[in-house]
Every structure is written in C-alpha cells, then in structure tokens.
Structure 1
Amino acid sequence: MRLNKRLAELGHCSRREADEWIARGWVRVNGQVAEMGLTVAPGDRIEVAPQAAAQQEARVTILLHKPVGYVSGLPEDGHQSAAVLVKPQTRWREDRAARRFEAGHSRGLAPAGRLDIDSTGLLVLTQDGRVAKALIGEDSPVDKEYLVRVQWAPNGPKGAGVVAQDVQSVFPPEGLQRLRHGLSLDGEALKPAQVDWQNPEQLRFVLREGKKRQIRRMCELVGLHVVGLKRIRIGRVALGQLPVGQWRYLGEHERF
C-alpha cells in the first residue's frame, strides 16, 4: 500500500500529515529517505524522525461548548464558524491544561464531527489528524451521547395534533424501538442506537455514526419534532461544566 496510508494505519498520523512528513524528508523506509508516492510491503521497516513527533506535540485539540447559531466547519449562509470562539478571553477559567494560549492554536482547527447550526454542546476542534481519524474515521468505535428535547408532531411541527408536554405518554412504544434499530437514511440502514427517555419531554441518544442532521431526521421518521439538541459526550470525554461559548484544551492524559 502507499506509504501515507500505511503511516495512518499504524496510528502515526493522518494521511495528509504523512504526506507532509514525507515531503520534509522525515520518513525512512528500510533506512532510505522515502519519496512521495512510495508503496511499501508489510515487512518494510518504517522510521519517523523526531521532528515529526515534536510537530505533533505542538498541535492542539480544543473542546468547545458550541452555542446555537454557529456552524461547525467553514462559514456558510452568513453564519460564523464555531472556531471564531477560540480566543484567549473565551478560554474556560477552570481549564486545568498547562498549555499557554498561542495565536497558532486558533489556526488550522478542523471539526472532528458535525454539530449542526441549531444544536449546542460538545464540539471537538483539532489540528491533530490522529484525533480526527479516531473520531470520524469509517471504523471509529467512538460513540456520542446527546440529550434531545422533542414534541409529538405526527403531522409535522405546524400541523394538527402537536403535543409538547408529557410526550412520552402519547409516543407509541414501537416508535422507540424503531429509533433504536430499523430506520434508514439516504438509502442506508442505520447502525443500532441506544435511545431512552430521560424525562417525559427528553430523549437520550447514543450513536456510533454521524450522518447529517441524523437525530432530527430519525425523529421525523417516527413523528417526533426536535426542539432542542445538545451533545454531552464524545467517547470518554464529557462536556461537563464547560459553559456555553467557552472552550478548553484536551488534557494531556485525556483520551476519547
């Protein structure tokens, strides 16, 4: 396979980072400096220069409590990217990370997973390709947990029969089973999900995939209308007490 793919497979970096390392002469295969486009066999000896590890160490991963009204990625339709909130004055005062904020920490931040404009909660912004791959790679085992406030709206949110209070009492039990397993989006069956009532108006979802507006669309398929959605956990990292609009660094010993 190509060397950049092999480096990513071994967990050293992302493919894009691998290409950068190869271009800088930081990768050797069987003792020889590797060239772009090189293919390797399973038994080939791959070495990475210390400079690559130092560069990775300087890259940051930021945990942001995204407010409603910001998009996760690039600005669109007049809405700002959530990355604009990463600045010294919005750093959570209780952040225990020893890192000092530097201007470079707010550049090149990529969202590792979606959180739509109408949703709030934990958003991961990272400069580290390994983190992005771990969270949004096709085979990622990392689950995400959401609290979702709903209304019963079998005829749509503006149609007749909307129920906003004690939704659990009017929602058919078979609908909950379909949310857990049995729905399809974009022509593909969804992976099994954990879905339970937190209170009569709020559901708790735990998903292992992240299609665009997935929870909202799932709810529509069973007659529910989402009026509030908050992501509270990604893998082993929880939103916790992080205030809306503020951020902190991923801790040195924290792992998703």
Structure 2
Amino acid sequence: MSQDNSISLNKYISSKGICSRREADRWIEEGRLKINGQLAKKGNRVSPGDEVLLDGKALPKAPKKLYIAFHKPAGVTCTTDRRDRSNIVDFIGHKERIFPIGRLDKPSTGLILLTNDGDMVNPILRVENGHEKEYIVTVDKPINRRFLQRMAGGLPILGQITKKAQVEQLGPKRFRIILKQGLNRQIRRMCEYLGYEVRTLKRVRIMNIELDQLPKGQWRELSAQELKNLEKQL
C-alpha cells in the first residue's frame, strides 16, 4: 500500500468516535492495539486494508460526526469516567459515545462542547492557537479599576504569568473576562491571587459558539453555520 494513503494510528482510532487522540495514545502504550497481528507502537500508521484490533476486537465503523453545545450545571464533572457518578456523559445520556472538549470545574456552569470527533479536540484546546473563551464571574466583594487592570494585564499563577485578557465590569461584584488560554482553574486562581473568592463562574462563549438562551442542563447540536465558522477558525 502507498504510504501516501496511510494515517497515524491515533488519528485512525479517534476517527471511529470512541476516544480522543490523546486517549488513543494511552491505549497504544498500554499494549491494547494490534495492526495486522503485530503489537502496535506510537507512531505506527494505518493503510487501507490493514486490520486494527482493540483488545482483540475490530474497531466499530465510524459514526456520523456529532458536535454538541451543552449548558453544564454546577455539580456535573467533565469526565468520561463512568465510575464518577456525576460524570457529564451519563448526565447527557446521548446514544452515541461522546466526550467533552476541555473541561469546566465541577462548581462552574455554562458552555462546554462535546463531540465524537477526536480530530476536533486538539485544534480547539491548543494554547498557541489563542482561541477566545468568554466568562461571566461574580466574586465575594466589590471590585475596582485596579482589580480589572490586574486581571487584564497578567498574573503569576502555576509558575507562569497569565496572558493578557479582556476584562469588563458588569456590576459591583460582577465582571466579564475573555481568555485566550485555559490553565487549570485559571480564573479562580487569578481572583484568589488578588484576594477575591469566586462565587459564580459561567462560560458563555467558546470561539464563535455562544451559550445564548440554551437552558441549564440542556444540549443542542451545532448548526451548519456554526460548524463552518468554527472550522474556518481552526
């Protein structure tokens, strides 16, 4: 077979809608995959006609690709681990196997995207791509211009300085912030650094996808126009 027709093994697995490429790499490392009877290794490629087995079984046919916007309530965990009783997959209960793109803290609410398309995950999450994510945040005490300037200018958390952000005051204790990165608990850590505690945190936009009027706990598929605009940005 021509090497030109081959694709990387992790991409081949993720195209089946059963996991992301990162998870596929973990399965390869765990020795769960074989190509034409040979134990697979990271970096292997798959050509048309190759037999790929996971745990000794053929992979499923690739399903229709799904892209879902979900309004996550507080208390739902952004994990596919079914042992976690608050996992997002069981909460949504979709008939297809889907997984979240990124995460929101368990106490946070708002927009999160889910898909069965493993190729979509990395381009959205990759920090260097600088994709915007917009949040509405309420803190425990009144904010001032100095707070807004420091939040916007970059703060030292997790051993680095956060990238510059757009910040706008919406009320005495409420503000909007647009980030181009997604460090672990970033907004909460930034507020804590300035002596504030986050009371509510809601994500209202990821790139061109807006939460809009989607009710809490509900989901919808992305529209054709949303997908077209999303793919342009990626």
TM-score by length of 1: 0.64
Residue 61 of structure 1 aligns with an amino acid whose one-letter code is: Y
Instruction: Please list, as runs of the form range in 1=range in 2, the aligned pairs for 1:69-148 lying within 5 A after superposition.
Output: 69-75=75-81, 79-87=85-93, 103=95, 105=96, 107=97, 109-148=98-137
Give the deviation of 1:197 after TM superposition. 0.4
- Partner of 1:125: helix, strand, or coil? strand
Question: Does the CA contact (< 8 Å) of 1:69 and 1:79 recur in 2?
Answer: no
- Structure 2 residue 207 is matched with structure 1 residue 235: yes
Question: Does the CA contact (< 8 Å) of 1:149 and 1:227 recur in 2?
Answer: yes
- Structure 2 residue 73 is matched with structure 1 residue 67: yes
Instruction: Please list, as runs of the form range in 1=range in 2, the aligned pairs for 1:152-231 lying within 5 A after superposition.
Output: 152=141, 167-168=142-143, 171=144, 173-231=145-203
User: How many angstroms apart in 1 are the aligned matches of 2:23 and 2:194?
Assistant: 43
Give the deviation of 1:80 after TM superposition. 0.9
User: How many angstroms apart in 1 are the aligned matches of 2:140 and 2:23?
Assistant: 45
Identity %: 36
Residue 112 of structure 1 aligns with an amino acid whose one-letter code is: I
Alignment: residue pair count: 197
- Partner of 1:58: helix, strand, or coil? coil
User: How many angstroms apart in 2 are the aligned matches of 1:3 and 1:60?
Assistant: 21
Distance 1:144 1:196, change over 3 A: same
Gaps of 5+ in 1: 26-34, 41-46, 50-54, 89-102, 153-166
User: How many angstroms apart in 2 are the aligned matches of 1:221 and 1:135?
Assistant: 27
Distance 1:61 1:24, change over 3 A: farther
Q: Which runs of 4+ in 1 moved over 4 A?
A: 13-19, 35-40, 75-79
Once superposed, what is the RMSD of the aligned Cα atoms? 3.6
Give the deviation of 1:37 after TM superposition. 6.5
Gaps of 5+ in 2: 1-5, 26-33, 50-60
- Partner of 1:148: helix, strand, or coil? strand
User: How many angstroms apart in 2 are the aligned matches of 1:224 and 1:18?
Assistant: 40
User: How many angstroms apart in 2 are the aligned matches of 1:183 and 1:16?
Assistant: 30
Distance 1:3 1:251, change over 3 A: same
Distance 1:4 1:74, change over 3 A: same
TM-score by length of 2: 0.70
Give the deviation of 1:125 after TM superposition. 1.2
Give the deviation of 1:36 after TM superposition. 7.3
Question: Does the CA contact (< 8 Å) of 2:154 and 2:165 recur in 1?
Answer: no
User: How many angstroms apart in 2 are the aligned matches of 1:116 and 1:16?
Assistant: 20
Residue of 52, 59, 64 corresponding to 1:58: 64
Q: Which has the higher contact order (CA 8 A, sep 6+)?
A: 1
Structure number with larger C-alpha Rg: 1
User: How many angstroms apart in 2 are the aligned matches of 1:79 and 1:195?
Assistant: 35
